[in-house]
Amino acid sequence: MPTATSRLPHVFEKREQEISDQWIEKQQATGRKLTAAEREQANRQSREFLRSLKTALKQNSSGDVSGPDWAGVREFLVDLSSRRAKDGYTPRETASFVFSLKQPLFSALKNEFGSDAKAVADEVWFATLLLDELGLLTTDAFQKSREDVILRQQKELLELSTPVVRLWENILALPLIGTLDSARTQVVMQNLLEAIVQTRSDYAIIDITGVPVVDTLVAQHLLKTVAAARLMGADCLISGIRPQIAQTIIHLGVDLSEVTTKATLADAFEVALRRSGHKVVRQDAAPVSAAR
């Protein structure tokens, strides 16, 4: 159990240079091969880390690194982690940044409290817990920045795969391809509603030919999308209902009676045209009258 107020701050104050030199040396010995520029950057980062570590310890040496006194240190490590993640360092290499500080720190403690075995033991224990906590922080942050990349890519994929197509003056089509989960539904709804506002459309055709599975959840997501569009004054039609889907929907007891459904996008388009007062006439010999 670390002492209420560790003497680590004092040790840092007195032996900063000694710890810093040894630490930088250790990093270079065990880490990956670095270019001169990378080495210089690593040195700078080390010195900066030690500085903020020293400051934080002086303000709060209880061992709790979650408070505001340690915000600077935490931010530094999170920043370092994401930068290294982008630069291609492995999580282990990034965590080593912190863990390799243990040995130099322990020798400094031994040099400082040499004769007092208990003091050395207590302080080493305290330092171990502290550095473990900080090292783990880098792995968490590393993980998170990886997840952020994945999330961003997922988001881009979602947006790319939910295009809204303008079929006619006031008729939109939304060909859905792939699964329809709640995250996707949110994006679909947003895109559709924004398109309705921009194009002032009265009809939206949601085509689900490319949606492989339609279960209760998917049906609910579809109904939500229809309801939202309706609140914006647009009528929705659902097309692409395959025979199996029709059976599934009835068996599930989903109520689609309020929604016009068609087997194909073409059929739905025809209905939408008709409802909006349009008529498509073939131009043979007879004089034409297409829309309106």
CB closer to other proteins out of 106 and 168: 168
* Minimum separation from the CB atom of position 164 to other proteins (A): 13
From CA 214, how far away is CA 128, in angstroms rounded?
A: 54
CB-nearer residue toward other proteins: 116 or 159: 159
Element (H, E) at 253: none
Taking only Cα atoms into account, the Rg of the chain, rounded to an integer number of angstroms, comes to: 32
First CA to last CA across the chain, in angstroms?
Answer: 84
Residues ≥6 apart with Cβ < 8 Å to 286 = none
By C-beta, is 3 or 191 nearer to other proteins? Answer: 191
Q: Which amino acid is at 227?
A: A
- Where are the alpha helices (H) located in the chain, listed in sequence order? 8-30, 36-59, 71-87, 91-99, 102-113, 117-160, 182-199, 216-231, 243-252, 265-275
The type of residue at 135 is: G
Residue 175 contacts residue 146 (beta carbons within 8 Å): no
Of 21 and 64, which has the nearer Cβ to other proteins? Answer: 64
Whichever of 7 and 275 has its CB closer to other proteins, that residue is 275
- Minimum distance of other proteins from residue 287's CB (angstroms): 29
Report, in Å, the least distance between residue 148 CB and other proteins: 9
Cα 225 to Cα 198: distance, rounded to the nearest angstrom: 17
Query: Judged by CB, which is closer to other proteins: 195, or 249?
Result: 195
Rounded to a whole number of angstroms, the minimum distance from the CB of residue 211 to other proteins is 19
Residues 167, 203 contacting (CB under 8 angstroms): no
By beta-carbon proximity to other proteins, the closer residue of 181 and 194 is 194
> What does the alpha-carbon distance between residue 268 and residue 273 come to, in Å, rounded to a whole number?
9
Shortest Cβ 144–other proteins spacing (Å) = 4
| Min dist. Cβ of residue 187 to other proteins (A) | 10
Name the residues that contact other proteins, by CB under 8 A.
Answer: 66, 78, 140-141, 144, 186, 189-190, 193-194, 196-197, 200, 202, 224, 227-234
Q: Is 150 exposed, middle or buried (0-12, 13-18, 19+ CB in 10 A)?
A: exposed
Of the two residues 124 and 259, which places its CB atom closer to other proteins in the complex? 259
Alpha-carbon gap, residue 270 to 176, rounded angstroms: 19
Q: Is 288 strand, coil or helix?
A: coil
Residue 96 CB, nearest distance to other proteins (Å)? 20
The pair of three-digit structure tokens given for residue 101, joined into one six-digit string: 């500080």
Q: Rounded to the nearest whole angstrom, what is the least distance from the CB of residue 35 to other proteins in the complex?
A: 30
